[in-house]
Amino acid sequence: MFNLLEKLHDEPRRSPPPLSENAEVVDFNLFSSDTQGSSASPVSASPVSASPVSRAESLKKFSKAQSLKQSRRWDNIDQRWVVNPAHRESSRPSAASLEIRKQRELDSATETAKRAKSAVNALRLRQSQALQNESNMEAARLSLEAKMKSWSSEYGKKKALPALLASLHMVIFPEANWKPVCLSDLLTESKIRKIYLRASLCVHPDKTRNLKAEKRFVAARIFDALTQAKAATQEDNNRR
């Protein structure tokens, strides 16, 4: 082995052959400089293959896709997602689809205007009815206020509950179907309470909302007078 080494050492070093005119220069930049544990292999003289897509180009494509996705909007007419014209890559819609779209928009606008007009008319009708009702109630108050005041009070003092129930037939309207009661039927608290509940049910606002203004005014005054008299009676009983 030592003889072989001495022989190789004694041999003169050979210089590389000169390059011919048609020889290709090797690009040493294509060798991997950071490979570990492997020696660089010589590169053949074949043409260099195309390099992969760079990071900048990948980011550009990703940004374009995100921009196209974010430019979508919901079409209420066609009921689908569409792309804004600035980002649209497809061809323009046909004339037939544009005509259908215009007709749908026109029908939608017409229906909206019709509903708005109907709502405005209903609101005006309710306001007119409310004004008419207030006017009728004011007229009823002017004509019936004195009568209802004389029934609910005497000499400036409010009547007791039994007296109101005994004279209720003098002011109540016929539609209530009220049967007159005597003072002899109002001697006990249980009878007073029973007749009071029956009278309150006859003139309750929920029962008289569809009557005329005069009858609604009478029912409201009777209901208020009976409620105040009942509260005064309970107050006197608590004091005892």
Q: With 80 as the cut, is the pLDDT of residue 219 above it?
A: yes
pLDDT at 50: 52
Instruction: Give the mean pLDDT of 77-104.
Output: 71
The pLDDT value recorded for residue 236 is 82
Q: What is the pLDDT of residue 125?
A: 94
The alpha-helical segments, DSSP class H, found in 24-174 are 55-70, 95-152, 161-166
What's the pLDDT at 65? 77
Name residue 82's beta-bridge partners: 73
What is this structure's pTM?
0.51
Exposure letters 121-157 (e unless 16+ CB within 10 A, then b)? eeeeeeeeeeeeeeeeeeebeeebeeebeebbeeeee
Summarize pLDDT for 91-144 with one digit per residue, the tens.
466 788 888 888 999 999 999 999 999 999 999 999 998 898 888 889 888 888
Q: Which residues pair with 80 in a beta bridge?
A: 75
User: Where is average pLDDT lowest: 43-47, 61-65, 88-92, 222-226?
Assistant: 43-47
Per-residue model confidence (pLDDT) at position 43? 44
Mean pLDDT of 31-38: 44
| Confidence band, pLDDT 50/70/90 cuts, at residue 76 | confident
